[in-house]
Amino acid sequence: MVWDVGEGSLFLIDIHSHLLPNVDDGSQSVEQSVAVLAQFAEQGITDVMLTPHVRASELAIDPEDELERRDVAFELLRREVPARPRLHLGFEIMLDQPISQETLSNRRFALAGSRYFLVEFYMSVAAASVEAALKQIVEAGVVPLVAHPERYGMCSAAAVTRWRELGAKVQVDATTLTRSSLRAGKAKQIVRSGAADVLAADNHGDQRCLSAAFEFLSQEGSPEAAQMLMVENPRSVLEDRPMETVPPIAIREGVWSRFKNIIRI
């Protein structure tokens, strides 16, 4: 069930944000977070996952400290926010080292207590390192959800397809998808090939939002895919269900993609 925000409104679910106040490089105050969440509600976003940054190396040292830091910030925010959008807790885990089995067995580090763990890598990560990390997580019986793969230098649609074959899922940055840049070209390639499972805004207390990406894909003639990427599969995360496979999407090539094709010629 999603909140009825009015006839003709969107009903979007954002599973990646940095809106817990003053815990990472995202929102720096309760007031800043409340303002962003109010804008989200106006845009038809019904649910938001709060996913502060944490490193696997930090979780190996004192996981309870990281949980307490997150939960204290959440209590401060929860006192001030309106009833909608609904808020859910998770983490975005930087895999600077192999993630411990203790962490993977504790669903408080997952997205809303589900089977899904939101993970990221350094931009210069090697392909072999990504595959090894994802295999380890899958073998623990949970699902790695790789954040913003378009940022990684080694990333391609073929690489992402390989990750998904290993059992991982993929979250492309929604705002990047709407832009014209080399990174946006990668994001479009991943979505175009049907290798994306979720779009999320990765808001850091700023203007990034899902609604622009929903409009972008709808204008490209893919409203059904937009629904799967920003409503149905995110809802599967909240409800701890398997995600549906999103089909390939016809997205027109941007300036950067055409430029790269010219260079190849």
* Residues 114 and 86: beta-carbon distance below 8 Å: no
What pLDDT score does 24 carry? 98
Distances (CA, A) of 226 to 2, 44, 88, 185: 17, 14, 22, 18
Percent of the chain with pLDDT over 90: 84
pLDDT at 128: 96
Virtual torsion, Cα 198, 154, 248, 48, nearest 10 deg = 10
Residue 74 has pLDDT above 60, yes or no: yes
Q: Could you tell me the fold of the domain covering 12-264?
A: TIM Barrel (3.20.20)
pLDDT in tens, 173-188: 999 999 888 999 999 9
Q: What pLDDT was estimated at residue 251?
A: 82
**CA distance linking residue 129 with residue 133, whole number of Å:** 6
Confidence of residue 48 (pLDDT cuts 50, 70, 90): very high
* pLDDT greater than 80 at residue 142: yes
| pLDDT reading at 261 higher than 80 | no
Domain range annotation of the chain: 12-264
Across residues 228-238, what is the average pLDDT? Answer: 98
Burial of 8: CB neighbours in 10 Å, binned 0-12, 13-18, 19+: exposed
pTM attached to this predicted model: 0.92
